[in-house]
Amino acid sequence: MDSDSLFVNQTELYEILCKFLTNIKKDGSERKTVDNYKRKAQMLETYRNDYLKNHRKMCELSDFDHVYFKKGCFETAQEVYLNIKENIDKTIELKRRRYNHHQATGLSSSLTRNIVDRKKGRHNHNQVRRLAMKGPHNESIHSTWTEGPAC
């Protein structure tokens, strides 16, 4: 493979990375799952490995006068890769944190999602607290604590 065909290949991989970033940013909440983003992370690493392999070949085969080196194509692709990786890592961390929070409070994400004040984009914290104080049969946990356990 000559340097010009490698350059074309690198350009195609770069365009794939750019489209990958655009698609991740457009993902709806139903697609932002930990499993889905783990798959995306694996795909991203595959693209990166292909790009790195081709970059090494470019370094071996061509002069550093080639447009690939003059335009800083590797650095530009690396920037896009890091942006995607950061986006994926943040999404996975956020989903894990939310899952752990819901496990600790006993609230499901659908309950807390319904509590969001859509106009302001904030949680109604009083309503969250009231739901957290409800038992499995929608009875107040507070009354169980003050009156003693039911026999």
24-42: per-residue pLDDT in tens?
989 888 888 889 999 999 9
Residues 97 and 145 in one domain: no
- How confident is the model at residue 29, as a pLDDT? 83
What type of residue is 140?
S
Residues 45 and 98 in one domain: yes
Residues 48 and 112 in one domain: no
Domain region containing 49: 3-105
Instruction: Provide the domain count of the chain.
Output: 2
Residues 97 and 133 in one domain: no
Residues 97 and 77 in one domain: yes
Residues 65 and 132 in one domain: no
pLDDT at 7 over 50: yes
Helix (H, G, I), strand (E, B) or coil at 38: helix
Residues 32 and 96 in one domain: yes
What does the block give as tokens for 132? Answer: 């957290």
Residues 84 and 131 in one domain: no
What are the C-alpha distances in Å from 99 to residues 30, 92, 108?
14, 11, 9
- What percent of the chain has pLDDT above 90? 50
The whole-chain average pLDDT of the chain stands at 77
Specify whether the CB–CB gap between 14 and 68 falls below 8 A.
no
- How confident is the model at residue 41, as a pLDDT? 95
Q: Which residue has the tokens 């195609």?
A: 12
Task: Give the domain-ending residue among 105, 121, 139.
Answer: 105
Closest CA relative to residue 14, chosen from 37, 47, 61: 47
- How confident is the model at residue 141, as a pLDDT? 37
What are the C-alpha distances in Å from 135 to residues 94, 99, 115, 143, 149?
27, 20, 18, 10, 13
Residues 128 and 91 in one domain: no
pTM of the predicted protein model = 0.64
Residue 30 DSSP symbol: G
Closest CA relative to residue 34, chosen from 87, 96, 81: 96
Residues 42 and 11 in one domain: yes
Residues 125 and 94 in one domain: no
- What band does 128 get if pLDDT is binned at 50, 70 and 90? very low
Residues 145 and 101 in one domain: no
Residues 35 and 21: their CA atoms lie apart, in Å, by: 18
Residues 90 and 125: their CA atoms lie apart, in Å, by: 24
Residue 78 parent element (H or E): helix 73-105
What does the block give as tokens for 3? Answer: 């340097």
- What percent of the chain has pLDDT above 70? 65
Tens-place pLDDT, residues 67-114: 999 999 999 999 999 999 999 999 999 888 876 655 666 555 555 555
